[in-house]
Amino acid sequence: MSTTTVSPPQGSKIYQFYQLTKPRVVSLIVFTAIIGMFLAVPGMVALQPFVAGSVGIALVAGAAAAINCLVEQKIDGIMARTRARPLPRGHLTSSQTLIFATIVGGLGLFILYRWNNPLTMWLTLATFVGYAVVYTVILKPMTPQNIVIGGASGAMPPILGWAAMTGEVSAESLTLFLIIFAWTPPHFWALALYRREEYAKAGVPMLPVTHGEEYTRLQVLLYTLILVACSLLPFTSKLSGLIYLVSALLLGAGFLGYAIKIYRHYSDALARRTFRYSIIYLTALFAALLIDHYFHF
């Protein structure tokens, strides 16, 4: 997701801690959580739980990203796309990162408990553990299905946002979860395809490394088909209307077009474009949900 954020000066220590939180990733997490908040209520959201939920989820997501950087600092130092992160470059130490993540994550959980509700706090804590521990420490170095299984943590933000406003998990919020859960494999495997040599060098068992390029291309296509089907659930469950349906079909057709091209005529440049489109796809799809919510017909 492309967002405009105000970041600290690049030479400062504050900027290095800011980079630990993976701000671009967190911005997409918070965005989908916010959509969950808006969809959870019939009118406009109440200001206090909205602000508290947004800040609390952002802080815990940033803490989880910092733990990910801490655990994977050696891998990050090998891969071209991550070697400029603060830990591989020596701008921050492991102990500084751990203290930072503890303080930021603890503050986020406290905010959610105090100004939202205990359910949101516990769900967010479970999401933190799922990403920072289960995915990063256990799944990623062990199985090429790391993205599929670990994708459950990445799909949680709409549920967290919904719970922050209502204090419950609904069937509607689970449909949003399924969309992101189905989106995660083709999104990350498109990246893994054109970064496969780096993953192999780093010893990470991503699908293109363990099962080859052709098999991964087929999986991208199959999961994209699943994603397009899941994207229709908000309409079939009456969570959204025609504005969303048309948007989902058009965006899905675009994603499916990329997936078919990857399967039939692969190139690294095409995989890179697919990865970039996947971010645009999810952002636009959830934006369509929000627009449809207030202009429903």
Closest of 106, 96, 6, 23 to residue 65, by C-alpha: 23
Encode burial over 209-232: b for 16+ CB neighbours within 10 A, e otherwise.
beeebeebbebbbebbbebbebbb
Give the separation between CA 44 and CA 95, rounded to whole angstroms: 42
CATH topology of domain 1-168: Tetracycline Repressor; domain 2 (1.10.357)
95-150: per-residue pLDDT in tens? 999 999 999 999 999 999 999 999 999 999 999 999 999 999 999 999 999 999 98
79-95: per-residue pLDDT in tens? 988 888 999 999 999 99
CATH number for domain 170-297, candidates 3.40.50, 1.10.287, 1.10.3470, 1.20.120: 1.20.120
Provide the whole-model pTM. Answer: 0.93
251-292: per-residue pLDDT in tens? 999 999 999 999 999 999 999 999 999 999 999 999 999 999
Q: Give the domain ranges of the chain.
A: 1-168, 170-297
